[in-house]
Amino acid sequence: MKEKNKRILFITLFIVIAALMRLIPHPPNFVPITAIAIFAGVKFRNIKLAYVIPIAVMLISDLFIGFYSISLFVYLAFILITTYSYIFKKYSIKNILLSSLLFFVVTNFGVWLIGGYPKNIEGLILCYTMAIPFFTNSLMADLLFSAILYYGFEKIEKRYLIFEK
């Protein structure tokens, strides 16, 4: 197997394993969604793969979990984070925090639009305020899963995959 194909296979495998975490019981919003988007954006050299693989994994896991009213906003956030990560190609605490914040802003805007909040500035503020506990879980998960994906893949890449980066 070509080294390039082996790398793509390992990256995809890491994403699939992380996505499977969505299927086991977990605290609200303590999932690897943002970490997967960051990982795909940073590690895939082909932008099509950076989008297709993680979105396909999300779609498959959502078939088991179920789709919800803000799914469109979740996928949009996921695409924006993958784009941001693909452009900057860098893992850093700052980029993880910005990605977490982007996910929070986009998805909760969807909650405000679709949910039962008043469609005024007070309703928007209330929606974001009520989402803060979920953001805390998301942020902790994003930091943890990003570290696991990044350092786990780096270790495997150095040990088993010998090719130019």
Residue 133: closest CA among 27, 19, 61, 21: 27
- Token representation of residue 61: 């896991």
CA 43 to chain centre: 13
What's the confidence (pLDDT) of residue 165?
Answer: 45
**pLDDT tens for each residue of the chain, 165 residues long:** 677 788 788 878 878 887 788 888 889 989 888 998 999 999 988 999 899 888 888 888 899 889 999 999 999 999 999 999 999 998 999 999 999 999 999 999 999 999 999 999 999 999 999 999 999 999 999 999 999 989 988 888 787 765 444
- Ordered by start, the domain boundaries in the chain are 3-24+31-160
Half-sphere exposure of 60 (CA within 13 A, CB side): 13
The answer to whether 41 and 80 have CB atoms below 8 angstroms apart is: no
What's the confidence (pLDDT) of residue 21?
Answer: 82
Output the pTM of the full model: 0.87
CA 137 to chain centre: 14
- Token representation of residue 135: 């953001």
What's the confidence (pLDDT) of residue 53?
Answer: 83
Question: How far apart, in whole angstroms, are the C-alpha atoms of residue 6 and residue 11?
Answer: 9
Alpha helix ranges (H) inside 21-70: 33-43, 47-65
